[in-house]
């Protein structure tokens, strides 16, 4: 029993030393990127968030951002006041498909830093469609200011909300309206009239009852009358 007491402090020292040398627990990995959570934290984007969720575009964006095989994204986020500046009833007049296209028009399939807008090639490609045609999106820069034109809207990038290697979110002061929503498609050309059927051989040559050349027939008839009258005159002169 006397031998146990001196060894007990040594045992406690060993345990304390082992515990101190064990590595500290690594911090919990960050959660998946959630674009609506980013916008909610920034505030003043209630309408844009609602449209992202109702159109399911938010799910597509989050899936792409959290898939390592997919590229990054740039999002232009209009504020609530930007939507308030639209004509009354305009947003509700858009069809469900147009609302999807409207939100996709605010998303670029590439990460752009503010300085990269200075060398961007216009028109930019958006998730609403190709760079040409109905969804043109052009950017110009003046110093540090980035301006956006769509053919309908002239907007300015007002602030950087969020940026990392996969996502850049910028506040814009106007809703970006696609040109295709306000252009009337050209009417389809009228069908060409069918060509008249070729005349039949009988109609070209004339019927059995009608001579092919009535003027010629009349001329021959008159000539026959003249010859007959001349012969009768000669016979009357010489009995």
Q: Scanning the structure block, which residue is given the tokens 């979110």?
A: 169
Q: Which helix (H) or strand (E) holds 234?
A: helix 214-237
- Here the CATH number for the domain that contains residue 120 is 2.30.180.10
Task: Phi first, then psi: give them for residue 148, nearest 5 degrees.
Answer: -125, 135
Whether residue 154 is contained in a domain is answered as: yes
Whether residue 51 is contained in a domain is answered as: yes
Q: Scanning the structure block, which residue is given the tokens 């004509």?
A: 87
Compute the distance between CA of residue 233 and CA of residue 239 in angstroms, rounded to an integer: 11
Whether residue 29 is contained in a domain is answered as: no
Mean pLDDT across the chain: 77
Structure confidence by residue, pLDDT tens digits, 89-137: 999 999 999 999 999 999 999 999 999 999 999 999 999 975 555 788 9
Whether residue 142 is contained in a domain is answered as: yes
Whether residue 136 is contained in a domain is answered as: yes
Q: Which residue has the higher pLDDT, 29 or 86?
A: 86
Whether residue 226 is contained in a domain is answered as: no
User: Total structural domains in the chain?
Assistant: 1
Compute the distance between CA of residue 125 and CA of residue 112 in angstroms, rounded to an integer: 12
Compute the distance between CA of residue 128 and CA of residue 98 in angstroms, rounded to an integer: 10
Domain that holds residue 67: 35-181
Structure confidence by residue, pLDDT tens digits, 23-51: 444 343 456 789 999 999 999 999 999 99
Give the strand pairing for 73-78 and 167-172.
Answer: parallel
Whether residue 216 is contained in a domain is answered as: no
Question: What pLDDT shows up at residue 45?
Answer: 97
Whether residue 13 is contained in a domain is answered as: no
CB atoms within 10 A of CB 166: 16
pLDDT at 145 exceeding the cut of 90? yes
Provide the 3-class DSSP secondary structure of residue 120. coil
């Amino acid at each position: 029993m006397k031998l146990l007491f001196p060894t007990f402090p040594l045992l406690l020292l060993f345990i304390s030393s082992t515990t101190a040398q064990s590595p500290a627990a690594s911090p919990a990995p960050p959660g998946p990127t959630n674009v609506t959570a980013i916008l909610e934290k920034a505030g003043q984007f209630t309408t844009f968030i609602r449209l992202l969720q109702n159109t399911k575009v938010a799910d597509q964006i989050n899936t792409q951002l959290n898939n390592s095989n997919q590229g990054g994204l740039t999002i232009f986020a209009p504020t609530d006041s930007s939507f308030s500046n639209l004509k009354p009833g305009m947003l509700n007049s858009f069809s469900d498909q147009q609302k999807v296209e409207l939100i996709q028009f605010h998303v670029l399939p590439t990460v752009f830093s503010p300085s990269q807008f200075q060398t961007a090639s216009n028109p930019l490609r958006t998730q609403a469609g190709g760079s040409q045609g109905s969804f043109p999106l052009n950017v110009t820069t003046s110093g540090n200011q980035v301006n956006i034109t769509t053919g309908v809207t002239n907007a300015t990038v007002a602030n950087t909300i969020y940026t990392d290697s996969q996502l850049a979110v910028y506040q814009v002061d106007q809703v970006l309206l696609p040109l295709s929503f306000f252009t009337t498609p050209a009417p389809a050309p009228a069908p060409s009239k069918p060509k008249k059927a070729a005349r039949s051989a009988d109609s070209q040559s004339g019927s059995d009852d009608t001579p092919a050349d009535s003027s010629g027939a009349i001329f021959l008839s008159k000539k026959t009358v003249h010859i007959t009258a001349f012969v009768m005159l000669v016979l009357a002169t010489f009995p």
